[in-house]
Amino acid sequence: MHPLTDHGQVLDFEDYVRTRHATLLRRARRLVADPLDAQDLLQTALARTYRHWDGITNKQLADAYLRRVMINTRTEWWRASKVKAVPVEYLPDTSIEDSTEQHANRALLMDIIKVLSVKQRSVVALRHWEQMTTEETAAALGMSVGTVKSTLHRALARLREELQRSYP
C-alpha cells in the first residue's frame, strides 16, 4: 500500500510508480472525467512529484503528497481553460467610463437622505437598494404593507423636495 517494501525499505521513485500506478490512475479519474485527461493529469503530477521526491522525508505520505499535486494541477488547468484568448481582426474601441458624475450623484444622495427619518431611510433602502417587495419590506421592518407604502410615498416626496431645493 505504501512506498515501503515488506522489509521496511523505502522504494525509489520508479518502484513507487510501478507499484502504485493503478491506484494513482483511479484517483486521477475521480478528479477529471476524460480517461485521457486523467492519464495526462497523473503524468504531470508524477513529473512534478519526481522533482521533490528526495524532499519527501516520510515516504508513507507520498500518496497524499501526489494527490495534492493532482488537485493543484487540475485546478491550474481549470483556471487556464477559463482564460482563453480569442483572436479578432480588429480591436474594439475601448473607452473608459468616467464615473465622477456617478460618484457625485451618490454623494449628493447620501447627504440628502439624511433629512429622512430612520424609518423612512429604512423603507427606501429596502425597497430601492435591496429591491425588496412591499410585502418583504413590511415583514423585515415589522410594519403593515399600508404603512410601508405611505412611508415610502412621503420619503420620496421629501427627497424630491430636497433635490429641487439643492438643484433648482
Proportion of the chain above pLDDT 70, given as a percent: 88
| Domain co-membership, 17 together with 72 | yes
Mean pLDDT of 50-70: 89
Name the burial class of residue 13, with classes exposed (0-12), middle (13-18) and buried (19+) by CB atoms within 10 angstroms of its CB: middle
Mean pLDDT of 88-106: 73
| Domain co-membership, 68 together with 119 | no
Q: Is residue 62 part of a domain?
A: yes
48-60 b/e with 16+ CB inside 10 Å = b? ebeeeeeebeebe
**What does the pLDDT read at residue 1?**
46
**Which residues share a beta bridge with 10?**
4
| Domain co-membership, 75 together with 117 | no
| Domain co-membership, 78 together with 114 | no
| Domain co-membership, 111 together with 161 | yes
Give the predicted TM-score (pTM) of the model. Answer: 0.46
Domain of 159? 101-166
Q: Is residue 68 part of a domain?
A: yes
| Domain co-membership, 77 together with 109 | no
| Domain co-membership, 60 together with 121 | no
Q: What is the band of 85 on the pLDDT scale with cuts at 50, 70, 90?
A: low
Q: Is residue 158 part of a domain?
A: yes
| Domain co-membership, 29 together with 74 | yes
Q: Is residue 7 part of a domain?
A: no
| Domain co-membership, 129 together with 75 | no
Q: Is residue 142 part of a domain?
A: yes
Mean pLDDT estimate for the chain: 84
| Domain co-membership, 56 together with 106 | no
Mean pLDDT of 44-59: 91
Q: How many CB atoms lie within 10 A of CB 152?
A: 18
